[in-house]
A and B are shown apart, each in its own frame.
Chain A
């Protein structure tokens, strides 16, 4: 695949200073107006935010437990294994699982919405 030469990678200089009209190229405008793009934006941002907050809650919760609740983490679970161990392992696994949730949903849903949005750019009737 080759670089799309028509679209510079970096925003170039000498842009239109008439910013009040904020002109969007017609193809981008069609994407912006397409239902697929709006759905994509809404769903992906909601998922990314929720998962990021979940990761932060899990990790910083664990860190705060270490800072404030050492004894709780040292509680034995029957044998020699303490509560801290499955919790720590749980943080590691949760990082992998949360990433997996995002990836699988993106593979199933967001890629399709992306393709639909791009199709909107190419259609004449938007």
Chain B
């Protein structure tokens, strides 16, 4: 028996989830409607992959879909990349279990997007081509900055991917009655196929389709809930308070937020981690210019915000419609654990067909997220490490694409193996760690290199390195790993999320390393800032990713 929710929590973002969710994964009876719908989805996406493969000829196609995605499409794809199965199942489960607290998490996942819009999206598009390292290394020395950015990318991707794979295996076992390892292999193989053959174009369309299915399915559920409540929030909340074991307490914050330091630290990781997730940043290179990049974040913010409002209604709907119906309950509570709240609600409002649909959507959701992660990890290996560091930029399209495909295969196989090895491990801390590294290594060097003239290579390496190392080290000696995984009684570092401290160290390192840098190289780098800022603000000289 596994603690599924522990793991599913890891799918989305926060180690704190782990403490909040309880439950066990019971292998369900094989769900044929869901499997047929899932095969429909797989057939459709493989068709798209075939179509995309014929259009993926250069590295610009492979990494950035040739720059031909529109702002609206990219907005949907970003939403599809970001809304994981746990955003859907985990947050609705959290609302089902403790009401208001679920809202606190969804808000944390949303507030990074405005920051991405104001500070990052347009400038990133104007300065870079395929990866965020293009931007960070724009006026700095290629080798150290790209190596550092690739490490930040791979660390983020690895932890995020392992958490996704383990969560996927558990979820699919639960939803479809498939064996855990089979589920992990199926997910891994499909993701490798999408990325190797279809590159960014296939990945983008998988994400768009998933986003449309998920938003459509969740809208239908929320609408049905409101329909049954006579379209009255008062009725929904009154009935939820009546039947929930905590009664009126579900309408106010509960125990999830412990002390202000933890709350702020987690908030920083969620907010600025979003702006440093390499697979999200990479999406901005798929549109033609900064204007489309800006529009795409606006659409994405709207979709994601709307989605979190839906999950809140779905969670409360589940309290009223699922939590009171013995058909969905067993002696321990909800059948299959709290994470099944949204799935059971799908059955309650739409019968077997809709249950199958929502289960298939949950599977599709995982595929879209892991495909984006793998592509971004592969591009760090092929574009940053191989092409720029190892070959010093002297590499043709064919070689670089070949390396990125091998990297995809390698990462995919690694993800499958680690997914199986980590089956019984506590991986809930991993997504929290991924966000912490993104906020403490990737985001600071990106932000500082764009906005501060004084930054030199030395400063970026010191700051990025300090952020990366401290985020990982503080997580290891913190409660999530030191106590829950290693079994020590007391954590050396008392907070679940290190972002408050590791981000401060990163910015301090960037400053310290730069002001003490008296090298000629440093001064040249600073003198290039004006040219960089002209390009970052106007896009003058920036091309689209198309290279025909």
In the complex, whether B117 has a CB less than 8 A from a CB of chain A is yes
B540 to A62, Cβ gap below 8 A?
no
Q: Kindly list chain B residues whose C-beta atoms are within 8 Å of the C-beta of A123.
A: none
The answer to whether B107 has its CB under 8 Å from any CB of chain A is yes
| Residue of B with least CB distance to A21 | B527
CB distance from B528 to the nearest CB of A (A): 6
B540 pairs with A95, CB closer than 8 A: no
Closest Cβ of chain A to B198, distance in Å, is: 22
Write the nearest CB–CB distance from B273 to chain A, whole angstroms: 14
Q: Is B1 interfacial (CB-CB < 8 Å)?
A: no
Residues on A with C-beta less than 8 A from B253 are 66, 70, 73-74, 84
Kindly name the residue among B60, B253, B301, B544 whose own CB sees the greatest number of chain A CB atoms within 10 A: B253
Residue B305 is within 8 A (CB to CB) of chain A in the complex: yes
In the assembly, what is the distance between CA of A22 and CA of B252, in Å? 59
What per-residue 1/0 map shows which CB atoms of B112-142 lie under 8 Å from chain A?
Answer: 0111011100100000110000100111101
- Residue pair B540, A118 in contact (C-beta under 8 Å): yes
When distances are taken between beta carbons in the complex, the residues of chain A under 8 Å from B548 are 2
Shortest CB-to-CB span from A72 to chain B, Å, is 9
CB-defined contacts of A4 to chain B, threshold 8 Å: 541-543
| A93 vs chain B, min Cβ distance (A) | 7
Q: Are B119's CB and A95's CB within 8 A? A: no
A125 within 8 A of B: no
Would you give the 0/1 interface string for A27-67, flagging 1 where the beta carbon is closer than 8 Å to chain B?
Answer: 11001100001001100100110011001100110111011
B527 contacts across to A, CB distance below 8 A = 19, 22
Q: Is the CB of A85 closer than 8 A to any CB of chain B?
A: yes
Which of A3, A40, A70, A91 touches B543 (beta carbons < 8 Å)? A3
User: When the two chains form their complex, are residues B520 and A91 in contact, meaning their CB atoms are under 8 A apart?
Assistant: no
Do B260 and A2 touch (CB < 8 A)?
Answer: no
Residues of chain B with a CB closer than 8 A to A9's CB: 128-129, 134, 543
Chain B interface (Cβ < 8 Å from any Cβ of A): 60, 67, 100, 103-104, 106-107, 110-111, 113-115, 117-119, 122, 128-129, 134, 137-140, 142, 233-234, 237-238, 241, 248, 251-253, 257, 259-260, 263-264, 267, 271, 288, 291, 294-295, 297-298, 301-302, 305, 308-309, 388, 393, 520, 523-524, 527-528, 530-531, 533-534, 537-544, 546-548
A10 touches B540 (CB 8 A): no
Are B531 and A28 closer than 8 Å at their CB atoms? yes
- B residues in contact with A121, CB < 8 Å: 540
A126: chain B residues at CB < 8 Å are none
Asked, given contacts A41-B537, A68-B260, A84-B251, whether A95 binds B129 with beta carbons under 8 Å apart, the answer is no
The reply to whether B308 and A66 form a contact with Cβ atoms under 8 Å apart is: no
> Which of the residues B103, B291, B302, B538 comes within 8 Å of A117, measured between beta carbons?
B538
Partner of B537, one of A7, A13, A40, A80: A40
List 11 A-B residue pairs with CB atoms under 8 Å apart, sorted by A's residue number: A22-B527, A25-B531, A37-B537, A48-B119, A52-B118, A55-B115, A64-B263, A80-B251, A84-B253, A89-B309, A99-B302
A67 x B257 contact (CB < 8 A): yes
A117 partner residues in chain B, CB cutoff 8 A: 537-538, 540
Do A67 and B260 contact each other (CB < 8 Å), given the known contacts A11-B138, A99-B113, A118-B540? yes
Across the interface, do A55 and B114 meet the contact criterion of CB distance under 8 Å? yes
Q: Which residue of B lies closest to A13 (CB)?
A: B142
**A102-B217 Cα distance, complex, nearest whole Å:** 30
Are B288 and A1 in touch, CB under 8 angstroms? yes
The reply to whether A82 and B138 contact each other, CB–CB distance below 8 Å, is no
Most chain B CB inside 10 Å of its own CB: which residue of A16, A91, A111: A91
| A15–B521 CA distance with the chains assembled, in angstroms | 10
